[in-house]
Amino acid sequence: MIRMIFRNTILVGATVLVLCAALFFGLDYTHTKEEACEALRDEAVYAEQGLMLSGMDYLKALGNINRVTWIDQEGTVLFDNMFSNNVSNQKAVPEVKAALNRGEGYVIRKSESSGENMMYYALRCDDGTILRLSRAIGPLRNALKYIMPMIWVLVLALMISLILAFRAAKQIVRPINEMNLDNLDHPPYAELAPLTQRIQEQNLTIREENLQQEKMRREFSANVSHELKTPLTSISGFAELMAQGIVPQEKVPEFAADMYRESQRLIALVDDILRLSKLDENAEEPEWEDVDLMEVSADTMDSLRTAADKRKVSLILEGDHVHVKGVFRLLSEMVYNLCDNAIKYNRDGGSVTIRVGTQDEVPYLEVADTGIGIAQEHIGRIFERFYRVDKSHSKELGGTGLGLSIVKHGAQFHGAQISVESEIDQGTTIRLTFSGNAEKSKE
């Protein structure tokens, strides 16, 4: 920041110096030029009077201080005190032409005779001839000499201002560097108040998020421990009874089936926990591809056909072939979890309908069931990990409580939005709306 202030000060100071020098030089040069022109005009008026009274003898007596040229109306040079020979016709020369038309003419140009830059002033005399006086423009360049002291003063002022600016920049930045980021109630400068207020708000938000994450972590750990402990306790109890020979021989297959069921529940729970952990950490870099939601839904229905038949739940697929960009495996898991929940929490003889289509050119996938429904106060929490509306019923069905959490994370990964509509004893409809372009084809 000190460098920036110092650099900007140098830039501003140098710019001001250049502009002031150019302004002073321009003003002085213009003033000098106007004075020279006025002096030539006065000399020309006096010279005309002398010429009219004494003729060419007066012009010869003027000497060679300034160049004096007497020209007739046709442009022929009658007299030139510096170049008496080989002077061309002057009728077309700008200042002479202007004098013939307007009575006087003034111009600065390079002399064809001497090769120097000259200031010319031409005056039309009473007899129609032209009297022209000129002087070298070299004295005008002395304008720079007159403003040099001012330029040196500006340079000195610039150097002093740079030193002061460097010290001032350090003094300005020091309080900022010494700010206590844990206590920003009194910023060193009033202009920093909006910034410090935003920093405090961000710090408060970060602390709240950290506390919330810590709370969620503890709850998650407690829930995981509880969920893992339940099947492990069952398996351990069954195994202990069998090891002690307490279980009758005819009951051994039943106990073994219970142990297998609890172990499968444990495996499913661990798999879901690992899946959520990978989604949380973005540990995977899956390959995105063009996925047909209709094909994903059809494959899911085939996978869940046996579970649906046990409950006599009919599976219905409606809609069109809609394509989205996404990860096929993750999309399959999302649809599977939605349909699996719709079957588990359905009524015997009910139905699960999967609809695939587009609305306003935005693709969507919808799973609707005729099940027990969800009370309004629970809808906002069903995507939380291990959250169950009816814990006893959920335990009987063998769910892990993580299926909808995987759906939520998968939706966030694909930039999709989730909407839920449900009524008690009327069923539940969950819709995934995908943003982006859809490619739709009908077969």
φ, ψ for residue 358 (rounded to 5)? Answer: -130, 150
**What is the predicted pLDDT for the residue at 210?**
80
* C-beta of residue 226 within 8 angstroms of C-beta of residue 401: no
Q: CA separation (Å) from 285 to 58, 167, 174, 289, 324?
A: 103, 52, 46, 13, 18
Most confident segment among 15-24, 89-98, 349-358, 404-413: 349-358
Question: Alpha carbon of 36 to those of 42, 88, 96, 133: distances in Å?
Answer: 10, 26, 18, 11
- Which of 79-83, 141-145, 184-188 comes out lowest in average pLDDT? 141-145
pLDDT of the residue at 37: 80
The pLDDT tens digits of the residues spanning 297-317 come to: 999 999 889 889 988 999 999
Checking DSSP bridges between strand 314-319 and strand 351-359, what pairing results, if any? parallel
Encoded amino acid at 223, one letter = N
Any bridge partners for residue 108, and if so which? 119
Q: How far apart are CA 164 and CA 158, in angstroms?
A: 10
Distance CA 32, CA 308 (A): 105
* Domains of the chain and CATH, by start: 2-143 (3.30.450.20), 204-281 (1.10.287.130), 289-441 (3.30.565.10)
Q: How far is residue 367's CA from residue 422's CA, in Å, rounded to a whole number?
A: 12
For the four alpha carbons of 304, 305, 308 and 313, in that order, the dihedral sign comes to positive
Are 128 and 73 within 8 A, CB to CB? Answer: yes
Confidence bin at 386 (pLDDT 50/70/90) = low
Average pLDDT over residues 65-82: 84
pLDDT tens for residues 160-190? 877 777 777 777 777 777 777 666 667 666 7
CA distance readout (Å), 197 to 174, 181, 184, 191, 192 = 20, 11, 8, 11, 8
> Which residues lie across from 110 on neighbouring strands?
117
Residue 394 confidence (pLDDT): 47
Q: What are phi and psi of 417, to 5 degrees?
A: -110, 145
pLDDT greater at residue 237 or residue 357: 357
Beta-carbon count within 10 A of 231 CB = 20
Which of 5-9, 190-194, 228-232, 428-432: highest mean pLDDT?
A: 428-432
pLDDT of 114 reads 64
* Weakest-pLDDT range from 85-89, 126-130, 274-278, 288-292: 274-278
Arithmetic mean of pLDDT over the chain: 78
